[in-house]
Amino acid sequence: DRAAVRTALGNLAANAVRLAPSGSLISLSCGEHAGWAWAAVSDEGPGIPAHLHERVFERGWRGRHDRDRDRAAAPDQRGLGLTISRQLTEAHGGLLTIDSEEGAGSTFTIWLPMAPDARTDDVVGRDHLHPLAQPWQALRLADHQPA
C-alpha cells in the first residue's frame, strides 16, 4: 500500500524537520539489504537517550524537546506520528527501527520484506528496535569520498 508507506515515511520526515536545528542536515535514503527494502530519515536534531528508545513509539509520547516547544507554535502535535508509522510498517510485515543518541541526532528506518523468507535477524537485533545493519551509513560515506 503505497499511500500507507508514504504516510509512515512522511511522519518520520515531519518529525525530523520539526526537531532538527535550523540549517542542519536532514537526509532521506533508501535501498535494499539482505532481502529487505529500507527507507531511512536521518537528522542532526537533539537525539534520544537510549533508555527512551522504546517509549518513542508509544501513543501520545512526546520528547523533552517537543514538550519544551511553544505549544502555540505547534498545537496539533499530539505524539502520534511514530506510533502511526510503526503500525503502518508492521501492517506490511515490516519493522521500524531507531538509531539515536542524545545530542547526536536520530535515524529512523522503515524495513519492508522483499520476499516471504526475509529474515529479521539479518537486519535488526533481538529487541526488534535497533538495527543491526546500517546501510545508510555506507551511503553517507560514499557521498563524502574525495573525487
Residue 75 is predicted with a pLDDT of: 43
- 80's CB contacts (< 8 A; 6+ apart) are 59, 60
134 against 86, higher pLDDT: 86
The pLDDT of 19-23, averaged and rounded, is: 88
More confident residue, 137 or 142: 137
Decide if pLDDT at 89 tops 50: yes
pLDDT reading at 79 higher than 60: yes
pLDDT tens digit sequence for 52-75: 998 888 876 555 555 444 444 454
**Whole-number Å distance between alpha carbons of 81 and 66:** 13
Task: Measure CA of the first residue to CA of the last residue in the chain; give whole Å.
Answer: 39
How many Cβ atoms are within 10 Å of 82's Cβ, its own excluded?
22
